[in-house]
A and B are shown apart, each in its own frame.
Chain A
């Protein structure tokens, strides 16, 4: 689906509101300030996914979007391996950076991902009156490209371009850099755009 400038502005605004709520929850969990970027919307040909994500180790907590649209796509909490370890360390008051990821990190990531994605989707539901519920979370601690390509492969539609819609959340104090990425199916995107356009027209 090709987006006009107005549509892509509308989605950006939605991302802003969702990510702001997610950033607030992250900030509370870390007890520190969290900055967020302007949401970026990229339409990427699948053959070029490798230029955005490669072999780097990352944690991805993925949720399927459910609710009004049953298989609506995915929403993902993405964080590099180093940032993920710093995140667990900060939350639990640990200092050792040179350790392997363990079950404690996995639980922390699932929990943080759950809280942030729920905050994101609550905010967008309140704004649009369109309910997107997260499925139980699924975690991958692996090559970023491998995890993302697997999610794209299991989307309902056979697509050649993916719309990646991401907002960066950064905690300077603890050097934690993360992203919330939405990978909507066409039906979800069309519904979001429609509702945002109506809202902006004041309907």
Chain B
């Protein structure tokens, strides 16, 4: 089967990490990273049989019908990543997901408008609908996070928090 060629499958130069900005996504086996997640969420999918994965930097829960920037919204990003990974030969049932982010950075504004929480809720709901297990997550709180995803190393996800501490999902 021919692969659908898209921007997302282009590898960065050898050995480098692909930086994924807000609303962007990548698919492959190279290292990927999202920097400075606040209310945004870094979501990863990984297939342990093929050692490939995908990462997306989601900003909002709902696209409200917009199609032009699918990586930006939970409801468009998840079907898209599944489609791209399926095109690379992944089976839906062999995919596992992890997510990090979804913090509330400003307490005063956060009270009535917790976008981070809504992002995480929508992602959980959509993963369940698509029967993809969410095996690890670190969401919420009020701290920024940077996340690295290594599909070539067992789908390892590492988190660096704003206070300098690190963790692994």
Residues of A participating in the B interface, judged by any CB pair closer than 8 Å:
46-50, 53-55, 57, 62, 64, 135-140, 142-154, 158, 160
Contacts and interface: CB of A to CB of B under 8 A. Distances in A.
Interface residues of B, dominant DSSP = loop
Contacts of B69: 160
Contacts of B103: 146, 150
A142 B23 contact: no
B40 A158 contact: no
A24 to B, nearest CB: 27
B60 A49 contact: no
Nearest to B73: A158
Contacts of B19: 50
B38 A150 contact: yes
B107 interface: yes
Interface residues of B, number: 34
A153 B115 contact: yes
B23 A146 contact: no
B22 interface: yes
B109 A49 contact: no
Interface string B82-124: 0000000000000000000001111111000101100000000
B59 A147 contact: no
Interface in B31-80: 35-40, 59-60, 64, 66, 69, 72
Which of A137, A138, A150, A151 has the most B CB atoms < 10 Å from its CB? A150
Contacts of A138: 106-109
A143 B59 contact: no
Given A47-B21, A50-B21, A145 B115 contact: no
